[in-house]
Chains A and B, each alone.
Chain A
Amino acid sequence: MIKDFVYLRPQSVKEALAMLAQYGEASKIICGGQSILILMRQGLVAPDYLIDVKQLHELDFIDFDDAKGLRIGAVTTHRKVEKSALIRRHFPVLAEMEEHLASIQTRNWGTIGGNLCHADPAGDPAPVLIALGASLRMADGKGERTVPVEEFFLDYFETVLGPDGLLLEITVPPPPPRTATAYEKFTVIESDHAVVSVACSITLDAEGQRCQDARIVLGAAAPTPKRATRAEEALVGATLEERVLDAAGRAASEEAEPITDIHASEAYRRDLVKALTRRMVRKAWETAKTVSA
Chain B
Amino acid sequence: MERKILRIRVNNEDHELYIKPKTLLVEVLRDHLGLTGTKRACSTSACGACTVILNGMAVKSCSILAVQADGAEVLTVEGLANGANLDPLQRSFLDHGAYQCGFCTSGMLMSAKALLGEKARPTREEIRQGIHGNLCRCTGYNSIVRAIAAVTDGRYGEERK
Contact = CB atoms under 8 A, between A and B. Distances in A.
B20 interface: yes
Nearest to A37: B63
Interface of B is mostly: mixed
Interface residues of A, number: 28
B22 interface: yes
A2 interface: yes
Contact of B133 (A6, A7, A102): A102
B63 A108 contact: no
A106 B63 contact: yes
B68 A105 contact: no
Contacts of A229: none
Nearest to A34: B63
A5 B21 contact: yes
Nearest to B71: A55
A108 to B, nearest CB: 4
Contact of A33 (B20, B57, B58, B63): B63
Interface in B50-70: 51, 54, 57-60, 63-65, 67-68
Given A4-B1, A7-B4, A190-B132, A104 B58 contact: yes
B58 A105 contact: yes
A190 B145 CA distance: 17
A103 B21 contact: no
Contacts of B43: 41
A7 B45 contact: no
A14 to B, nearest CB: 21
A79 interface: yes
A129 interface: no
Interface in A57-109: 79, 102-106, 108-109
Nearest to A108: B57
A200 B94 CA distance: 47
B21 A105 contact: no
Contacts of B134: 103
**Most chain B C-beta atoms within 10 Å of own C-beta, residue among A4, A5, A104, A109:** A104
B48 interface: yes
A105 B133 CA distance: 7
Given A103-B48, A106-B133, A2 B22 contact: yes
A146 interface: no
A293 interface: no
Given A103-B133, A104-B132, A191-B132, A7 B67 contact: yes
Contacts of B24: 37
A5 B3 CA distance: 10
Nearest to B21: A7
B130 interface: yes
Contact of A104 (B21, B63, B111): B111
B51 A105 contact: yes
A30 interface: yes
**The 8 A-B residue pairs with the shortest CB-CB distance in the complex, in nearest-first order:** A103-B133, A7-B21, A108-B57, A2-B22, A4-B1, A105-B60, A105-B133, A109-B59
